[in-house]
Amino acid sequence: MHATGGATDVAGTGGQGPAGRSSRHVGPYALITSLDDPRTRIPVPERRYIARSDDGQHTVLLSLPQLGGDPQRFLAEAEASRYLLGPCAAPATALAAPGEPAWHARPYLPALPLPTALAVHGGPLPEQTVRALGVALAETLAVLHGQGLTFAGVSPAAVLLCADGPRLTCFGAVRAAAPDGTPRSGLPGLEPGSLPPEQASGGRPRPLGDVYALGATLAYAATGHTTPERDELPPSLRTVLSRCLARDPSTRPQLTELIGALSGDGGTRDGATPVPGPGRLPGRVIAALAHQSGAVLTAEIPVASTAPAPPTTR
Amino acid sequence: MPSPLTHDDPQAFGPYRPVARLGSGGMGTVYLARTAGGRTVALKTMHARIASDTAFRTRFRLETDAARVVGERYGAGVVDADPRAETPWFATEYVLGPPLDDAVELCGPLPEQSVRALGAALCGALGQLHASDVVHRDLKPSNVLLTAYGPKIIDFGIARAAGDDRLTRVGVAVGTPAFMSPEQASGQEHSAAGDVFALAGLLVFAATGRPPFGHGQAADLLYRVQYAEPDLTGVPSSLVPLLAQCLDKNPFRRPATDWLAAELHDGSGEFADHLPDAVLADIGRRAAEVWQIMPQRLLAPADEPDMAETVAPARWSRRRLLLTGGTATLAVAAAGTAGVWAWNERGGSGPDRPPAPGPSNRLLPRKRLDSIWQIQVDEDDLFEEVMQPGQLHVVGDMVVTVAPHLIGVTAKTGQRQWASNLMDSDWQVATDGERVLGLGPSDEGASSGKAGGDPLLVTSIDLLTGELNDPQVSLPEFNGELVGDQLVCTANGIAYVVAGRGKFVHSRFTANQTWYLFAVDLSTGKRLWTTPLPARRSGSVRLYFLSAAVVGRDLVALQEANDGTVHAVVRDTRSGAVRWDRPLAGVKASSVQLPLVTDARHLYLGAGELRALRLRDGRTAWESKSSRPGRTYGPPALKNGTLYAIEKGLGMVALDPGSGRVKWEEQGGQGVEADLKAVPVIGTDHAYSRRASKLWAIDLSSHAPTDSYRTTGNRFIAHEKSRTVISMGGNFLAAFPLR
């Protein structure tokens, strides 16, 4: 079923037998299913899987670099992501050992990439969901910026919808795609509409680039694409999202301003208007999350005859 | 959230290793469990000690079969099972969604579109079950899980195949009074139309948060289900005619499930589209939460008392076990034990809901109470509404209780000496303080006796082993299978017994049965006298006798008449002849199912006004109505020539039993909260009374409280030999100092 992100399709890979340790095996993990649905045609900077440790006890979201990507820069960003804070941060908890093909992982949580969520819902998300999503992501970016970091990788696919709120993945995807000073337009895995113009031309990612990328991502959630015409956007979001998407970084709003606008209280967070809580998701998105969770609970990986080493953690 | 494994949980069930406990009860435990390949399931087990009986093991296998019949669209898909293992188990998918009762509690009554979609989907589920000739028989909110893709029906503990007599006998009856069909409540055949009735009741609950026949005691509910109109207040008006039709008392006038489904919903959209946000959020939370469960196993507690117990071999017939679940009316009571599963404890913990608060102390932090000792017992609260509560007997050095199996505990240490694996809640036991008698059907010979079933057996129970002693008195003139059979009391080697003749049917008392009270000498097996009893009202849920005791040559008893009044009746122990019979105004049957309080002259009654009746002629010797008008009292206790009772708003009072004159009243003003239900316990220097969740000691010389002990108990008796107050309640048996 489309809604599951493909999880059910491989729920029965247990039948492949112990010979499955090849393309379906990465590091200490056996792959269960791909997280992303290629039918959404939205570029993803990583190859992402739901996978399970060989002892069957730990199910993870596993990320590998795109084919042709630089594994060293991929791992460097993954390493840096381990220290991310914020409500929707998704730090890596395990990384490939030196010399091993690159991967990083974090504990599995039922999650739908934003493009999959739109597909499941049957179109753009309700404005209320978009606002809640925007507030949660903006708050997370604000924490990150306070840590002195730039996310450099916000895009529709980087946003995972979970029952308790979104998760922001693909930390540093822009930096990993090409070093600063190298034009990044058209690189595989980078969704062009959410790549800030100054980063596309090779500039070093800075916080206001995250504001641009967030604006594009929220535009995607509200319309189905990252470069909408102005009048496609819900009227109440037009002004603020258009400002996020300004070519000149200095005219983009600050995150606090964005949070205020999305909360609908003009910037003061203690106003009477309630902030839509995170996790307020449409019924079919919840249904798809539950379906994915159930399918992964049911999935069984081939049991290795010898006890494998535990996942490496640095 | 689920709770950690305990130190004695098994390491594996077949290929499944337990990860955490999802729920636990008297019958078994439900685990979250995982294979080596990481497949995660809900795994339901039956305790090995229960599974040692083939009847229960069969029931377990049948439940697995029924779950397979319903399949994974409308039920929790069965993944694997081993009903032949020492601890039988079966594994199902882990269902992601709240039970309907939790959903309504959490999110309030469901909107009409949710109720309609739910009803239509449940019609589909029932249609599939009925097409396979299975009737659920216990459809209720806690047995329906709301997933994002539709409802799933769980708990087939009492489902049965239509017309399958073997199944009927094993898995029969019970049900939950609030959602029972009238035919089920009256002990008749509950067919597919009965499930439709229950479905409508469930939809009324979903739409309003209230069951259609309200709440209350099982007996009242059974009556209302049969004779009262359902309360549809608050049901959306467009649903009222439809649900009223399903709630017709006549099963033949109720609609079929496919017609009903079409009337309820046009099938548009996905199920999730019709659910309110709060329910969706809960489903999402559950889908995520299961991934946060970490395997954890508790260490054996250092201060755990020695639980070594001898399991008495199965000597009594499994007939009695069949009977346990095999009686529609009484089995209402049994719903909490035999019929309903661990994961529906407290009226329903779904496989993915946290265990009910309170029970199963294995899960509780071992917080220090003020008790001398404390052990876990499994109580069945539903049962108490019908049967005599407080089956807590002092016998020699021991306390014997039914919880729900007969167990013997050393009063001084709390050590469990034995537990009978066959003694179920409807076993009749009585004691004279020295020995314990049991009453049940004989398993000698399958010859259906002339009384309509297996002979009645009366025998004493060995206090060292829990086994049955010889000689065993077998009485083929009476049908030992009848659940109306009652061991009234015993004294001086004589047992006073109620027993019936006639066919066993699912309702307790029927017109074709005849009932007798008799006295039997346990040493010779001879009946000394037998006297017929008037017919009990059909559908009665209480036994003939509420309580009884032998005083000299009198058999003193309280009985409920067919009009609901309570009578005091005194019979001659030598002939059974009634010496006097007196109705007691203002006494409720349910409040006098307690040990009788008598001395040589009087019978003392509380639970309302306090009064003394002369044993000689039944006349009132004194009553509080005249000496202390307007006061209300709990049940009295008698000790050393003083009568004690709790007076509402005041606390403990001590009276002269001869005159009713008050000797003293509790001082200090702290008796306001005193519990009016529990019988006070009297020691040599202190009287004990329950207030809030404490047992208070009131000094008999200063008349003021001196100590209090935290307790979960709500029933207390004195065990004088060990100088302890034994308390029962909240799934614990505990002892406190008796001074």
Which DSSP string do the residues of B61-120 spell out, in sequence order? HHHHHHHHHHHHHHB--EEEEETTSSS-EEEEE---S-BHHHHHHHH-SPPHHHHHHHHH
Please give the average per-residue pLDDT across B650-669, as a whole number: 91
**Closest residue by Cα to residue B687 from B670, B668, B707:** B707
Query: Cα–Cα distance between B472 and B642 in angstroms, integer?
Result: 40
Residues of B that are catalytic: 138
Q: Would you state the pLDDT for residue B368?
A: 44
Report the chain B residue with the minimal C-alpha distance to residue A108. Answer: B291
Of B24-28, B504-508, B642-646, the range with the lowest mean pLDDT is B504-508
pLDDT of residue A36: 94
As given in the structure block, the two tokens for residue A209 are 């680039």
* CB pair distance less than 8 Å for B284 and A280: no
Helix (H) or strand (E) holding A199, with range, is helix A197-200
pLDDT bin (cut points 50, 70, 90) of residue B405 is: low
Peptide bond into B212 cis (omega under 30): no
Residue B419 has pLDDT above 80, yes or no: no
For B147, the closest of A14, A110, A290 (CB atoms) is: A290
The partner residue sitting opposite A293, judged by closest CB among B270, B274, B287, is B287
Closest-CA distance of chain A to residue B99, Å: 15
Q: Which of A14, A107, A287 sits opposite B37 (nearest CB)?
A: A14
Which of A290, A293, A300 lies closest to B38 in CB terms? A300
d(CA B610, CA B632) in angstroms, rounded, equals 8
pLDDT at B357 over 60: no
B44 is in an annotated binding site: yes
Q: What is the pTM of this model?
A: 0.60
Q: Which one is the CATH code of B17-344: 1.10.510.10, 3.40.50.170, 3.40.50.300, 3.40.190.10? A: 1.10.510.10
Cβ contact, residue pair A289, B280, below 8 Å: no
Which of A1, A33, A300, A306 to substitute to test the interface with B, most B CBs within 10 Å? A300
Residues of A within an 8 Å Cβ radius of B: 14, 52, 55-57, 59, 107-110, 162-164, 279-281, 283-284, 286-287, 289-294, 297-303
pLDDT of residue B313: 33
User: For residue A4, what pLDDT is reported?
Assistant: 40
In the chain, the amino acid numbered B63 is E
Residue from B16, B19, B34, B40 whose CB has the most chain A CBs within 10 Å, to mutate: B40
User: What average pLDDT does this structure show over B27-46?
Assistant: 92
Q: Which residues contact A247 (CB under 8 A, 6 or more apart)?
A: A197
Please tell me the predicted confidence (pLDDT) of residue B379: 57
Q: Work out the pLDDT band at B231, boundaries 50, 70, 90.
A: very high
- Cβ–Cβ below 8 Å for B36 and A283: no
From the list A55, A287, A300, the residue facing B39 with the nearest CB is A300
CA distance to partner chain B, nearest, from residue A154 (Å): 24
DSSP, collapsed to helix, strand or coil, labels residue A86 as: coil
**Which range (A125-139, B336-350, B382-396) has the least confidence?**
B336-350
Q: Which of B146, B274, B280 is the mutation pick for testing A, counting most A CBs within 10 A?
A: B280
> What is the β-pairing status of strands B398-402 and B406-410?
antiparallel
pLDDT for residue B84: 87
- State the span(s) of chain B assigned CATH 1.10.510.10: 17-344
Q: Which of B93, B291, B292, B294 to mutate to test the interface with A (most CBs of A within 10 A)?
A: B291
HSE value, Cβ hemisphere, 13 Å, CA-based, for B679? 29
By Cβ distance, the residue of B40, B274, B287 closest to A290 is: B287
Q: Do A291 and B39 touch (CB under 8 A)?
A: no
Residue B414 per-residue DSSP state: -
Supply angle C-alpha B669, B674, B676, rounded to 5: 140
Hey, what amino acid is at B729? G
User: Which residues are CB-contacts of A266 (< 8 A; sequence separation ≥ 6)?
Assistant: A260
Mean pLDDT of B592-597: 86
The pLDDT of residue B440 is above 60: yes
Residue of A280, A289, A301 with shortest CB distance to B38 = A301
Contacts of B295 in chain A (CB under 8 A): 57
Taking any CB pair shorter than 8 Å as contact, residues of chain B touching chain A are 34-41, 93-94, 96-97, 147-149, 270-275, 277, 280-281, 283-288, 290-291, 295
- The CA-atom distances, in angstroms, between B602 and each of A19, A57, B595, B656, B659 are 86, 70, 14, 12, 11
Check residues B535 and B621 and name the one with the higher pLDDT: B621
A-B CB pairs within 8 A amount to: 106
Tell me the pLDDT of chain B averaged across its residues. Answer: 80
Position with higher pLDDT, B345 vs B570: B570
pLDDT per residue as tens digits for the range B290-324: 998 888 887 765 544 433 333 333 333 222 322 22
Higher pLDDT, B668 or A8: B668
Position A146 scores a pLDDT of 93
Task: Indicate yes or no: CB of B37 within 8 angstroms of CB of A162.
Answer: no
Chain B residue whose CA is closest to A278: B281
| pLDDT at residue B81, rounded to an integer | 92
Neighbours of A248 (CB within 10 A): 9
pLDDT for res B173:
37
Q: What is the CA radius of gyration of chain A?
A: 19
The pLDDT-based confidence of B337 (bands split at 50, 70, 90) is: very low
| Residue B41 with chain A: CB contacts under 8 Å | 297
d(CA B644, CA B686): 11
Distance of CA B386 to the CA centre of its chain: 8
- pLDDT interval class at B157 (50, 70, 90): low
- Which chain A residue lies closest to B292 (C-alpha atoms)? A109
Q: Do A163 and B275 touch (CB under 8 A)?
A: no
Domain B544-641, second-level architecture? Beta Barrel (2.40)
Q: Helix, strand or coil for residue B695?
A: strand
Average pLDDT over residues B535-559: 84
Is the CB of residue A134 less than 8 Å from the CB of residue A252?
no
pLDDT by residue, tens only, chain A of 314 residues: 333 433 333 333 333 333 334 458 899 999 999 999 888 899 999 999 999 999 898 999 999 999 888 999 999 999 999 999 988 999 999 999 888 899 999 999 999 999 999 999 999 999 989 999 999 999 999 999 999 999 999 999 999 999 989 999 999 999 999 999 999 998 989 999 999 999 999 999 999 999 999 999 999 999 999 999 889 999 999 999 999 999 999 999 999 999 999 987 544 444 333 344 444 799 999 999 999 999 999 999 988 655 444 444 44
B277 vs A14: CB contact, 8 Å cut-off? no
Listed range (A295-309, B100-114, B691-705) with the worst mean pLDDT: A295-309
Identify all chain B residues contacting A122, using CB atoms and an 8 Å cutoff.
Answer: none
**Among B311, B507, B509, B337, CA closest to B421:** B311
Angle at B97 between CA A128 and CA B66, to 5 degrees: 155
Q: Which pLDDT score is estimated for B639?
A: 92
Please report which confidence band the pLDDT of residue B450 belongs to, taking 50, 70 and 90 as the band edges: low
Structural domains in chain A plus CATH codes: 112-263 (1.10.510.10)
Identify the helix (H) or strand (E) that includes residue B558. strand B554-560
Give the count of beta carbons closer than 10 Å to the beta carbon of residue B727: 28
CA-CA-CA-CA dihedral for B191, B193, B197, B200, to nearest 10: 130
CB within 8 Å: A108 and B39? no
Mean pLDDT computed over B611-633: 91
The verdict on a CB contact (< 8 Å) between B40 and A297 is: yes
B570: left (phi over 0), alpha (psi -120 to 50) or beta: beta
CB distance A157 to A114 below 8 Å: yes
Q: In chain A, whose CA is at the least distance from the CA of B270?
A: A284
CA distance B514 to chain A (A): 57
Tell me the nearest-neighbour CA distance from B275 into chain A, angstroms.
7
CA separation for the pair B520, B526 (Å, rounded)? 6
Stretch(es) of chain B classified as CATH 2.40.10.480: 544-641
Q: Does residue B174 register a pLDDT over 60?
A: no
pLDDT bucket at B427, cuts 50 / 70 / 90 = low
- Look-up of token digits 């060989």: A54
Minimal C-alpha gap between A291 and chain B (Å): 8
> B289 to chain A nearest CA, in Å?
9
- Nearest CA to B595 out of B468, B433, B713, B483 is that of B433
What's the pLDDT score for residue B404?
Answer: 61
- B-chain residues near A57 (CB < 8 A): 34, 38, 295
Question: Average pLDDT, stretch B478-505?
Answer: 84
Cβ A291–B285 below 8 Å, yes or no? no
Chain A closest-CA separation from residue B261 CA (Å):
22
For residues B54-75, give the mean pLDDT.
Answer: 82
What is the C-alpha separation between B195 and B251, in angstroms, rounded? 10
Question: What is the reported pLDDT for A23?
Answer: 53
- Using DSSP's 3-state secondary structure scheme, residue B465 falls into coil
Residue B177's pLDDT is what? 78
More confident residue, B589 or B119: B119
Residue B678: DSSP 8-state: S
